[in-house]
A and B are shown apart, each in its own frame.
Chain A
Amino acid sequence: MKSISKYIILLALVFTTGAVFGQSVRDLRFNEILIKNTDNFDDEYGRHVPWVEIYNTAYNSVNLAGCFLTDDTTGFAAAGKKGGEIPSHWYHIPKTDVKTNMPQRSYIVFYLDAEPLYGTFHANFDPRTSQTSYIALISADGKDLIDLMHYPKQDLMDSTRSFGLEKDGITGHAHFLDQFTPGSSNEVKFTVSKQERLKTDDPYGIGLAIISMSVVFTALILIFFMLKLFGYSSKKIAQRNAAKNAPAATAMAATAKSGGDTNKEEDTDQLTGEEAAAIAMALHLHFNSMHDEESEVITIDMPSAHYSPWAQKGLVMKRTPRIRK
Chain B
Amino acid sequence: MFDFFREGLIQFFGYSGFGNCTWGHIIMICVGLFFITLGVVKEFEPMLLVPIGFGMIIGNIPFTDGLQIGVYENGAVLNYLYFGVIKGFYPPLIFLGIGAMTDFSALISNPKLILVGAAAQFGIFAAYAIALLLGFTPMEAGAIGIIGGADGPTAIFLSSKLAPSLMGAIAVSAYSYMALVPVIQPPIMRLFTNEKERVIRMRPPRAVTHREKVLFPLFCILLTAFLVPSGIPLLGMLFFGNLLKECGVTKRLANTASGPLIDIVTILIGLTVGASTQATNFLTPKSILIFALGAFSFVIATATGVLFVKFLNLFLKEGNKINPLIGNAGVSAVPDAARVSYVEGMKFDKTNYLLMHAMGPNVAGVIGSAVAAGILLSFLY
Residues of chain A whose beta carbon lies under 8 Å from any beta carbon of chain B = 194-195, 198-199, 203-206, 208-209, 211-213, 215-224, 226-228, 230-231, 234, 237, 306, 308, 310-311, 313-314, 317-324
- Within 8 Å by CB of B108, from A227, A310, A313, lies A227
How many angstroms from the CA of A204 to the CA of B130 in the assembled complex? 8
Residue contact B215 to A230, C-beta cutoff 8 Å: yes
Contacts of B211 in A (CB 8 A): 234
Residues on A with beta carbons closer than 8 Å to the beta carbon of B351: 306
Docked complex Cα distance between A318 and B356 (Å): 15
Question: Which one of A199, A216, A227, A320 contacts B372 once the chains associate, using CB atoms below 8 Å?
Answer: A216
| B128 pairs with A217, CB closer than 8 A | no
**If A204-B132, A205-B141, A219-B371 touch, does A320 touch B339 (CB 8 Å cutoff)?**
yes
**Which of chain B's residues has its CB closest to A222's CB?**
B223
Q: List 23 A-B contacts (CB under 8 A).
A: A194-B380, A198-B138, A203-B132, A204-B129, A205-B129, A205-B132, A211-B375, A212-B124, A212-B375, A213-B125, A217-B118, A218-B227, A220-B118, A222-B227, A226-B219, A230-B215, A231-B108, A234-B206, A314-B339, A314-B342, A319-B43, A322-B42, A322-B43
Nearest B residue to A314, CB-CB: B355
Task: Give the CA-CA distance A195 to B137 in the complex, in Å.
Answer: 8
Give the 9 A-B CB pairs with smallest separation, nearest first: A209-B125, A227-B111, A205-B129, A220-B118, A310-B356, A310-B353, A198-B138, A222-B223, A321-B43
Q: When chains A and B are docked, how far (Å) is the Cα of A61 from the Cα of B284?
A: 40
CA distance A275 to B133 in the complex (A): 63
Check A219–B42 contact: CB distance below 8 A. no
Chain B residue with minimal CB distance to A204? B129
Given contacts A195-B137, A198-B138, A234-B209, A220 and B355 within 8 Å (CB-CB): no
Q: In the complex the two chains form, is B129's CB within 8 Å of A308's CB?
A: no
**Min distance, Cβ B280 to any Cβ of chain A, angstroms:** 26
Q: Does B114 contact A (CB under 8 A)?
A: yes
- B224 — which chain A residues lie within 8 A by C-beta? 219, 222-223
Given A212-B372, A224-B112, 18 more A-B residue pairs with CB atoms under 8 Å apart are A194-B379, A195-B138, A204-B129, A204-B133, A208-B128, A209-B129, A211-B375, A212-B376, A213-B121, A218-B227, A220-B114, A223-B111, A227-B114, A231-B206, A310-B355, A314-B339, A314-B342, A317-B335
Chain B: residues with Cβ within 8 Å of the partner, total of 61
**Which residues from chain B contact A208 at a C-beta distance below 8 Å?**
125, 128, 138, 379
Instruction: Give the residues from 192 to 240 in chain B that come closer than 8 angstroms, CB to CB, to chain A.
Output: 206, 208-209, 211-212, 215-216, 219-220, 223-224, 227-228
The contact of B371 among A216, A230, A311, by CB within 8 Å, is A216
Number of A-B contacts (CB under 8 A): 148
Q: Are B223 and A226 in contact (CB under 8 A)?
A: yes
A230 and B209 alpha carbons, distance in the complex (Å): 10
- Report whether A224 and B115 are in contact in the complex, using a CB–CB cutoff of 8 Å: yes
Q: Select one of A195, A206, A234 contacting B212, CB under 8 A.
A: A234
Main secondary structure of the interface of B (DSSP, over half): helix
B98 to A: closest C-beta gap in Å: 14
Chain A: interface secondary structure? Answer: helix
Give the Cβ gap from A241 to chain B, nearest Cβ, in Å: 11
Mark contacts of B124-153 with chain A using CB atoms, 8 A cut-off: 1 yes-contact digit, 0 otherwise. Answer: 111011011100011101000000000000
CA of A209 to CA of B130, assembled, Å:
11
